[in-house]
Structure 1
Amino acid sequence: MTAYKSREEVPLNEKWNLEDIYPNLQSWEEDFKKVGNMIDDVKKFDGAIHGANDLYSYLSLGEELGMVYKKLYVYAMLQVDLDTRVTASQALLDRASQLGQKLSAATAFFNPFLLSLEEKTLQSWIEEVQGLKYFEDDLYELYRYKAHVLSKEKEEVLSQMGEAFSAPRNTFGMINNADIKFGDVTNKDGEKVELTRGMYSKLIEDDNRDTRIEAYKAYYKPYVQLQNTIASTLSAAIKNNVLMAKMRNYPTALEKSLFGDMVPKEVYDNLIKATKENIEPMHRYMKLRKDILQLDELRAYDIAVPLVKDVKQEISFDDAYDTMLKSLAPLGEEYVSTLRSFKEKRYFDVRETPGKRSGAYNLGLYGVHPFILLNHQDDLDSLFTLTHECGHGMHSYLSSKHQPQISAGYSIFVAEVASTVNEILLIRYLLKETEDKHMKKHLLNHFIDSFKGTMFTQVMFSEFEKITHEKSEQGEPLNAEVFNTIYEQLFRVFNGDELVFDDEVKFGWSRIPHFYRPFYVYKYATGYASAIHIADKLLEGDSDTLERYLTFLKSGSSDYPLELLKATGVDLTTPEPIQNALSIFSELVNEFAEL
């Protein structure tokens, strides 16, 4: 695998073409100015919406403004993510963020205004001006928030505090992406090299236990050193969330998070309860892991190492892409050929380079196309990451193509379904195609581990968020010691008694960026359970499920998430999808044990 020292070394066809958004910086500046002027125009509507035509003019202007602003913001954000060290890109993003605050402040009057209208009045206005039909669902959706919208003055103050409220997340992002240095580790030639995140994910899977221990200790060292600083950013993020829920009259921060998706609290509680009731196969897998690795003690740095040796595959990006396309055949020719074109059109930024944001994501930009960030390492994990992000990418693409702007974005609640269906189709394809028993074991191991990461670990994180927010709501202190205790207890419950704890384990909370977007990760688990159901139906050749699933991918946010999923045959208000998924996990562990 090539290690690139700079972006200049990466081949052009493996880099985003950001000119698809703006041909040059001058065009960005022109839009920046345009948005500023449009914000001034929007302000004029404050106190001046007296009838159906005024309302239509305001909403039309607002939609256009939102679209131009998102382009501005995304362009700046993508520039920063390509190299977080470049101050010019940071400055661009800062300007875009500040403009966003102005936009929020300028439109803060609208929700209180709308909610002061009688529903009868709104209904008569919609009947009067044809164009308002387009906005109807969104306008009525706002009435659902009536009890949670504050006075005009308070809303204005809150919108101006947006930057202050997002400070804990931004601070953690800087600590985590820009400032943390993991120190040096020994590579296989015995030389000292600087540890990176990408390298860590490789070393923690190394056959040599000493290598794993060294990487593990080096990786956690800065988090342990910064535990109090990070605890204060996380504590502030949780307190902000609790305060915002209280100010907006929600019973709890959790219920505030679930409100937008119309998800009952039972779905969240069901997920945790059903997973813990079916935790035994997970403990069995940990015991199996200890036996296969022939260890006296299983420790945290032993739980990522593949249990099947000597199947290290070098898979180039091009080969990974071809394999992915073959595995997705059950989704139909149109899906596959559309996805094939993503590569030719440079929707991907493929390689890890110094300063580039870690991890992977898809960002769909309405009116342009999806942008997919990767840090591709030419291995099996990278093939899965590619397939996962392409699930998101196709969801963005199809929803944008088939929905108007107002309903093209989809809720995060359903987002993980599209990515995980792809992953499950890939693993099932690889398991079916391989004759090699050794390889089959390796793939089963990979399937079990991804199940563990996407289902069990995310449920554990979800419970951590629930407990910490409840503590804050009860006025209890939150600090490194409290976080450590909660995290360690949960880690024991989810991983079982086979695991012997190193001191670092309890600091796991300190490195999780998702905790700064509260009550987000449970959607990975519900998404995974839903995806298992859909993928298995697709593999049975169920044409009805295929049709319903493709409709789901084209639906954006045209209905509430639970309803969109029900249309594919998955009902998350019952424990059944979770129990089904966990019984498949149990089967996988049994099959692996037999092999």
Structure 2
Amino acid sequence: MQTYKTREEVPVQEKWNLDDIYSEIHKWEEDLNTIEQLSNELKKFDGAIQSGQELFQFLRKQEELSYKFNHVFPYAMLKVDEDTRKTESQTLLDRARNLSVKVSSNTSFFMPFLLGLDEETLKGYIAEEKGLEYFEKDLFESFRYKEHVLTKEQEEILSQLGEALSAPSTTFGMINNADIKFGEVTNKEGEKVELTRGMYSKLIEDEDREKRKEAYKAYYQPYLQMKNSIASTLSAAVKNNVTTSKIRRYPSALEKSLFGDMVPKEVYENLIKATKENIAPLHRYTELRKEILELNELRQYDMSVPLVSGVKQDISFDEAYETMLKALAPLGEDYVETLNQFKSSRYFDVRETPGKRSGAYNLGVYGVHPYILLNHQDDLDSLFTLVHECGHGVHSKLSSQYQPQISARYSIFVAEVASTVNEVLLIHYLLDQEKDEKLKRYLLNHFIDKFRGTFFTQVMFAEFEMLTHEKAEQGQPLNVEVFNQIYESLFKEYNGDALVFDEEVKYGWSRIPHFYRPFYVYKYATGFASAIHIATKLLEGDAQTLESYLEFLKSGSSDYPLELLKKTGVDLTSPEPIKNTLSKFAELVEEFAGL
């Protein structure tokens, strides 16, 4: 695998092209100034909206500001993520963040004003000003928030606290991406080298158990050293969320998170309940793992090593891309052609380099195109990551293409559907193509592990979030001991008794960035369940599902997420999709055990 010491060494074709947003920095500066100007103009509407025409002028200006801000902020963020150590990029992002707080403060009067109107007055404004029809659905959607919006003065104070309230998340981000130095591991030459995240993802799958153990201990070392600092940031994030939920008069922080998507609390609770009722196949798989690895004691650093050895595949980025295009053929020629364009137009940042943000993501920039960050390691996992992020990318691209700005951004609730449909299609393609029994077993094992990570682990995380928020709501303390106790008992409950726990296991909570974006992870699991249903139908050649699914990808947020999914044949208000997903997992485990 090619490794790079600097970003400059990476071939141009494997670096994203940010010139598509701003070809010169002075254009970024111009937009930043325009946003500030528009923000000041918007403030003048405070107390001055007396007619449909004035309401329309305010909303049109606000949308213009939003369009520009959705170029200024992503550009700065993408620059930072190329190399988190560069202060000039951090400065751009800080300026964009500060401006965001100012905009939020200058427009904070609008929600209280809007919700102070009675419905008849608003309808009168819309009848009087034709341009308002474009905003009508959004305006009435805002009425749902009536009881959760504060007075004008209170809203202004809250918006000014925006930066302070997001500080725990920002602090954890800096600790996790810029400051953390992992312990040392032994390389092939027998020399001690500092562990990187990319190396860890390789070493934790190494067939040599001592190497896995060494990497595991080195990886957790800084988290254990900084456990109190990280516990303090996580505790503050949870408490901030609980406090703002109370201020906004929501029954709980969980219900505040679900409100925007119109998801009933029962969907969240049923997900956890149904998973725990059907957890036996996961325990069976853990025992199978111990048996196949022939271990007296199964430990956490044994949970990622492939159970079929000697089939490590080297897959270059170009090969991975070709495989993806073939695997996604069931989605039709247009879909595949869209993906061809992604590569030739440099939507990707492919390689791991020092200081680059870890992990992978897709970021859609409305009016430009999606940007996809990867840290490609030339292996099977990287192929899956590529296919996953391209699912998000095409979803962003099609929603932007077919929806106006106001409804182009899809809800996070449905975000994981497109990515996971792609992964399911990929695994089926790979299994169908494979003639070698050993490789087939390897792929099946890979899919089971993927299932465990994307579904069961996320449900466990979701329960951890629910329990920690409940403690904060009851005024109970949140600290290292509390987080450890909750995390360890959940880990045992989900993974079964076959595991022997190292000291590090209970600190798993300390390295999860998603916990700073409350009640987000359950959407991976509901998305996974929805995707299993859709992909199964696509593989059966169901033309109706293909048509409704492609429509879904073009829908953005033109309807509530549960309604959009119902159109593809998935009803998450019933336990069926979850139960079907869990029975699919049980089948996979039995098939693997049979092999």
Output the amino acid matched with 1:513.
Answer: P
- Give the distance between the partners of 1:187 and 1:253, measured in 2 at CA: 46
Pairing 1:435–2:435 present = yes
- Give the distance between the partners of 2:285 and 2:28, measured in 1 at CA: 53
Q: Which consecutive unaligned segments of at least 5 residues does structure 1 have? A: none
Deviations 1:506-525 (A, max 9, x none): 00000000000000000000
- Give the distance between the partners of 2:545 and 2:112, measured in 1 at CA: 42
Output the amino acid matched with 1:18.
Answer: L
Q: CA deviation at 1:27?
A: 0.7
Q: CA deviation at 1:388?
A: 0.1
Q: Which residue of structure 2 aligns with residue 315 of structure 1?
A: 315
Q: Which residue of structure 2 aligns with residue 208 of structure 1?
A: 208
Q: Which residue of structure 1 aligns with residue 324 of structure 2?
A: 324
Q: Which residue of structure 2 aligns with residue 564 of structure 1?
A: 564
The aligned runs of 1:18-37 (5 Å cut-off) are 18-37=18-37
- Give the distance between the partners of 1:191 and 1:567, measured in 2 at CA: 57
Deviations 1:311-347 (A, max 9, x none): 1111010000000000000000011111111000000
* SS state at 1:372 partner: strand
Pairing 1:531–2:531 present = yes
The aligned runs of 1:236-385 (5 Å cut-off) are 236-385=236-385
- Give the distance between the partners of 1:249 and 1:188, measured in 2 at CA: 58
Q: Which residue of structure 2 aligns with residue 160 of structure 1?
A: 160
- Give the distance between the partners of 1:478 and 1:40, measured in 2 at CA: 41
Pairing 1:9–2:17 present = no
Q: Which residue of structure 1 aligns with residue 108 of structure 2?
A: 108
Deviations 1:325-375 (A, max 9, x none): 000000000111111110000000000000000000000000000000000
Deviations 1:355-401 (A, max 9, x none): 00000000000000000000000000000000000000000000000
The aligned runs of 1:468-547 (5 Å cut-off) are 468-547=468-547
Deviations 1:90-140 (A, max 9, x none): 011000000000000011000000011110010011111111000001000
The aligned runs of 1:125-140 (5 Å cut-off) are 125-140=125-140
Deviations 1:168-199 (A, max 9, x none): 00000011111110021001221211100111
Q: Which residue of structure 1 aligns with residue 75 of structure 2?
A: 75
Output the amino acid matched with 1:523.
Answer: K
- Give the distance between the partners of 1:242 and 1:520, measured in 2 at CA: 15
Structure 1 residue ranges, 4+ long, deviating more than 2 angstroms after superposition: none
* SS state at 1:555 partner: coil
Output the amino acid matched with 1:263.
Answer: V
- Give the distance between the partners of 2:469 and 2:414, measured in 1 at CA: 24
Q: CA deviation at 1:233?
A: 0.3
Q: Which residue of structure 2 aligns with residue 461 of structure 1?
A: 461
Deviations 1:147-186 (A, max 9, x none): 0000000000000000000000000001111111002100
Deviations 1:190-235 (A, max 9, x none): 1211100111010000000000110001111111111111000000
The aligned runs of 1:162-177 (5 Å cut-off) are 162-177=162-177
Deviations 1:484-517 (A, max 9, x none): 0000000000000000000100000000000000
Q: Which residue of structure 2 aligns with residue 184 of structure 1?
A: 184
- Give the distance between the partners of 2:189 and 2:434, measured in 1 at CA: 33
- Give the distance between the partners of 2:65 and 2:414, measured in 1 at CA: 27
* SS state at 1:298 partner: coil
- Give the distance between the partners of 2:589 and 2:485, measured in 1 at CA: 30
Pairing 1:121–2:155 present = no
Q: Which residue of structure 1 aligns with residue 405 of structure 2?
A: 405
Q: Which residue of structure 2 aligns with residue 199 of structure 1?
A: 199
Q: Which residue of structure 2 aligns with residue 450 of structure 1?
A: 450
Output the amino acid matched with 1:57.
Answer: Q
Output the amino acid matched with 2:49.
Answer: I
Output the amino acid matched with 2:593.
Answer: A
The percent identity for this pair of structures is: 71
Output the amino acid matched with 2:363.
Answer: L
Output the amino acid matched with 2:350.
Answer: V
Q: Which residue of structure 1 aligns with residue 389 of structure 2?
A: 389
Deviations 1:548-587 (A, max 9, x none): 0000000000000000000000000011000000000000
Output the amino acid matched with 2:453.
Answer: G
- Give the distance between the partners of 1:279 and 1:183, measured in 2 at CA: 35
- Give the distance between the partners of 1:222 and 1:195, measured in 2 at CA: 11
Deviations 1:426-466 (A, max 9, x none): 00100011001000000000000000000000000000000
- Give the distance between the partners of 1:339 and 1:119, measured in 2 at CA: 45
- The root-mean-square deviation of aligned C-alpha atoms, in Å, is 0.5
Output the amino acid matched with 1:589.
Answer: V
Q: CA deviation at 1:36?
A: 1.1
Deviations 1:246-285 (A, max 9, x none): 0000000000000000000000000000000000000000
- Give the distance between the partners of 1:395 and 1:94, measured in 2 at CA: 29
**How many pairs does the alignment contain?**
595
Output the amino acid matched with 2:530.
Answer: S
Pairing 1:585–2:585 present = yes
Q: Which consecutive unaligned segments of at least 5 residues does structure 2 have? A: none
- Give the distance between the partners of 1:127 and 1:549, measured in 2 at CA: 35
Output the amino acid matched with 2:161.
Answer: M
Output the amino acid matched with 1:156.
Answer: E
- Give the distance between the partners of 2:262 and 2:26, measured in 1 at CA: 42
- Give the distance between the partners of 2:383 and 2:190, measured in 1 at CA: 29
- Give the distance between the partners of 2:273 and 2:327, measured in 1 at CA: 34
- Give the distance between the partners of 1:432 and 1:184, measured in 2 at CA: 41
Output the amino acid matched with 2:361.
Answer: Y
- Give the distance between the partners of 1:288 and 1:189, measured in 2 at CA: 34
- Give the distance between the partners of 1:549 and 1:564, measured in 2 at CA: 10
Q: Which residue of structure 1 aligns with residue 415 of structure 2?
A: 415
* SS state at 1:363 partner: strand
- Give the distance between the partners of 1:283 and 1:73, measured in 2 at CA: 45
- Give the distance between the partners of 1:183 and 1:519, measured in 2 at CA: 31
TM-score, with length taken from structure 1:
1.00
- Give the distance between the partners of 1:183 and 1:222, measured in 2 at CA: 7
Pairing 1:551–2:551 present = yes
Q: CA deviation at 1:528?
A: 0.1
- Give the distance between the partners of 2:304 and 2:322, measured in 1 at CA: 27
Q: CA deviation at 1:70?
A: 1.4
- Give the distance between the partners of 2:183 and 2:507, measured in 1 at CA: 18
- Give the distance between the partners of 1:326 and 1:127, measured in 2 at CA: 51
- Give the distance between the partners of 2:532 and 2:356, measured in 1 at CA: 33
- Give the distance between the partners of 2:254 and 2:35, measured in 1 at CA: 34
Q: Which residue of structure 1 aligns with residue 148 of structure 2?
A: 148
Output the amino acid matched with 1:97.
Answer: R
* SS state at 1:88 partner: helix
- Give the distance between the partners of 2:103 and 2:57, measured in 1 at CA: 17
